[in-house]
Amino acid sequence: MSRPGRQLDSSDAPTTGPDLLRAAPSSVKALGAREPSIFPVRNRSRHPSTDLQIRAWEPLSRHCSWGIGGPARFVVAVRTAMELSLALREARLLGLPHFLLGKGSNCLFHDDGFDGIVILNQINHLSSSRSGVFTAGSGRSFNQLGGLTSQQGREG
Protein backbone atom coordinates (compact mmCIF):
# COMPACT_ATOMS: atom_id res chain seq x y z
CA MET A 1 0.00 0.00 0.00
CA SER A 2 1.27 3.47 -0.83
CA ARG A 3 1.83 6.04 1.86
CA PRO A 4 1.73 9.83 1.40
CA GLY A 5 4.84 11.10 -0.30
CA ARG A 6 5.98 7.72 -1.63
CA GLN A 7 8.06 8.09 -4.78
CA LEU A 8 6.70 6.07 -7.71
CA ASP A 9 8.18 4.94 -10.98
CA SER A 10 6.73 3.34 -14.10
CA SER A 11 7.03 -0.20 -12.72
CA ASP A 12 4.50 0.71 -10.01
CA ALA A 13 1.73 1.60 -12.49
CA PRO A 14 -0.02 -1.78 -12.89
CA THR A 15 -0.42 -2.48 -9.17
CA THR A 16 -0.18 0.87 -7.43
CA GLY A 17 -2.88 2.80 -9.31
CA PRO A 18 -5.85 0.87 -7.88
CA ASP A 19 -4.26 0.90 -4.40
CA LEU A 20 -3.81 4.67 -4.56
CA LEU A 21 -7.40 5.22 -5.56
CA ARG A 22 -8.71 2.99 -2.77
CA ALA A 23 -6.47 4.76 -0.23
CA ALA A 24 -7.35 8.27 -1.40
CA PRO A 25 -9.31 10.40 1.05
CA SER A 26 -13.04 10.51 0.36
CA SER A 27 -12.73 14.22 -0.44
CA VAL A 28 -10.43 13.38 -3.37
CA LYS A 29 -12.73 10.57 -4.54
CA ALA A 30 -15.61 13.03 -4.48
CA LEU A 31 -13.72 15.15 -7.02
CA GLY A 32 -14.26 12.35 -9.52
CA ALA A 33 -10.76 10.93 -9.36
CA ARG A 34 -10.20 8.00 -11.64
CA GLU A 35 -7.48 5.40 -11.47
CA PRO A 36 -4.28 7.46 -11.60
CA SER A 37 -1.79 7.10 -14.40
CA ILE A 38 1.92 7.40 -13.83
CA PHE A 39 2.70 10.04 -16.41
CA PRO A 40 6.48 10.09 -17.09
CA VAL A 41 6.56 6.69 -18.80
CA ARG A 42 6.56 8.08 -22.38
CA ASN A 43 9.34 10.57 -21.72
CA ARG A 44 11.79 8.22 -20.05
CA SER A 45 12.49 6.49 -23.35
CA ARG A 46 12.99 9.79 -25.21
CA HIS A 47 14.80 11.72 -22.48
CA PRO A 48 16.82 9.23 -20.41
CA SER A 49 18.71 12.04 -18.65
CA THR A 50 15.46 13.36 -17.15
CA ASP A 51 14.29 11.59 -14.02
CA LEU A 52 11.21 13.38 -12.77
CA GLN A 53 10.37 12.60 -9.15
CA ILE A 54 6.62 12.05 -8.93
CA ARG A 55 4.64 11.57 -5.75
CA ALA A 56 0.97 10.58 -5.68
CA TRP A 57 -1.57 11.91 -3.16
CA GLU A 58 1.07 14.16 -1.59
CA PRO A 59 -0.38 16.46 1.12
CA LEU A 60 -0.15 20.06 -0.07
CA SER A 61 0.31 21.08 3.57
CA ARG A 62 3.96 20.03 3.11
CA HIS A 63 4.44 22.69 0.46
CA CYS A 64 3.07 25.90 1.96
CA SER A 65 4.09 28.07 4.88
CA TRP A 66 0.63 27.83 6.47
CA GLY A 67 0.90 24.03 6.72
CA ILE A 68 -2.63 23.40 5.43
CA GLY A 69 -4.08 21.62 2.43
CA GLY A 70 -5.27 18.21 1.34
CA PRO A 71 -3.58 15.86 -1.11
CA ALA A 72 -2.67 16.57 -4.72
CA ARG A 73 -3.24 13.78 -7.19
CA PHE A 74 0.38 14.17 -8.33
CA VAL A 75 3.28 16.34 -7.23
CA VAL A 76 6.34 16.57 -9.44
CA ALA A 77 9.53 18.49 -8.65
CA VAL A 78 11.33 20.08 -11.61
CA ARG A 79 14.94 21.25 -11.46
CA THR A 80 15.53 22.34 -15.07
CA ALA A 81 13.64 24.11 -17.84
CA MET A 82 13.55 20.81 -19.76
CA GLU A 83 11.88 19.03 -16.83
CA LEU A 84 9.36 21.86 -16.52
CA SER A 85 8.57 21.59 -20.23
CA LEU A 86 8.12 17.81 -19.95
CA ALA A 87 5.85 18.07 -16.91
CA LEU A 88 3.66 20.72 -18.57
CA ARG A 89 3.43 18.72 -21.79
CA GLU A 90 2.41 15.56 -19.94
CA ALA A 91 -0.23 17.45 -17.95
CA ARG A 92 -1.72 18.76 -21.21
CA LEU A 93 -1.57 15.35 -22.92
CA LEU A 94 -3.38 13.72 -20.00
CA GLY A 95 -5.89 16.55 -19.75
CA LEU A 96 -5.08 17.10 -16.08
CA PRO A 97 -5.20 20.54 -14.50
CA HIS A 98 -1.83 21.75 -13.28
CA PHE A 99 -0.46 24.36 -10.92
CA LEU A 100 3.10 25.71 -10.78
CA LEU A 101 4.21 26.25 -7.17
CA GLY A 102 7.25 28.11 -5.91
CA LYS A 103 8.12 28.29 -2.22
CA GLY A 104 4.47 28.28 -1.11
CA SER A 105 4.70 31.35 1.11
CA ASN A 106 1.64 33.07 -0.38
CA CYS A 107 -0.59 30.02 -0.90
CA LEU A 108 -3.57 28.55 0.88
CA PHE A 109 -4.72 25.11 -0.22
CA HIS A 110 -8.17 23.63 0.28
CA ASP A 111 -8.47 20.66 2.64
CA ASP A 112 -10.06 18.68 -0.22
CA GLY A 113 -6.78 18.85 -2.14
CA PHE A 114 -6.23 19.23 -5.88
CA ASP A 115 -7.21 16.63 -8.49
CA GLY A 116 -4.37 17.45 -10.83
CA ILE A 117 -0.62 17.90 -11.05
CA VAL A 118 1.25 20.32 -8.79
CA ILE A 119 4.62 21.21 -10.31
CA LEU A 120 7.17 22.28 -7.70
CA ASN A 121 9.51 24.87 -9.18
CA GLN A 122 13.00 23.95 -7.94
CA ILE A 123 14.89 25.58 -10.82
CA ASN A 124 17.43 27.38 -8.65
CA HIS A 125 20.59 27.86 -10.71
CA LEU A 126 22.59 31.04 -10.23
CA SER A 127 25.32 32.51 -12.40
CA SER A 128 26.99 35.87 -12.74
CA SER A 129 28.98 37.56 -15.45
CA ARG A 130 32.16 39.58 -15.06
CA SER A 131 30.10 42.71 -15.64
CA GLY A 132 28.05 41.91 -12.53
CA VAL A 133 24.87 40.65 -14.19
CA PHE A 134 23.26 37.81 -12.23
CA THR A 135 21.00 35.19 -13.80
CA ALA A 136 18.86 33.20 -11.38
CA GLY A 137 16.50 30.29 -11.88
CA SER A 138 12.81 30.99 -11.33
CA GLY A 139 12.80 28.72 -8.27
CA ARG A 140 15.69 30.53 -6.54
CA SER A 141 14.75 32.16 -3.23
CA PHE A 142 14.87 35.97 -3.24
CA ASN A 143 16.54 35.84 0.19
CA GLN A 144 19.31 33.59 -1.15
CA LEU A 145 19.74 35.75 -4.23
CA GLY A 146 19.91 38.93 -2.17
CA GLY A 147 22.39 37.40 0.27
CA LEU A 148 24.69 36.14 -2.47
CA THR A 149 24.67 39.41 -4.40
CA SER A 150 25.27 41.52 -1.30
CA GLN A 151 28.22 39.29 -0.35
CA GLN A 152 29.75 40.29 -3.67
CA GLY A 153 29.22 43.98 -2.95
CA ARG A 154 26.21 44.43 -5.24
CA GLU A 155 23.22 46.56 -4.37
CA GLY A 156 20.09 48.00 -5.92
* Confidence bin at 154 (pLDDT 50/70/90): confident
Domain 7-123 is found in CATH 3.40.190.10: no
Domain span(s) for CATH 3.30.43.10 in the chain = 7-123
> Is the distance from CB of 58 to CB of 4 less than 8 angstroms?
yes
- List strands edge to edge, sheet with 71-78: 7-8, 53-59, 71-78, 114-121, 98-101
Question: In the structure, how many helices (H) and strands (E) does the chain have?
Answer: 5, 7
97-118 pLDDT, tens digit per residue, is 999 999 888 889 999 999 999 9
CA 124, CA 106: separation in Å to the nearest integer?
A: 19
Report the predicted TM-score, pTM, of the whole model to 2 decimal places: 0.65
CA 143, CA 147: separation in Å to the nearest integer?
A: 6
Q: In the predicted model, what is the mean pLDDT of the chain?
A: 77
50-70 pLDDT, tens digit per residue, is 678 789 999 999 999 999 999
CA 119, CA 125: separation in Å to the nearest integer?
A: 17
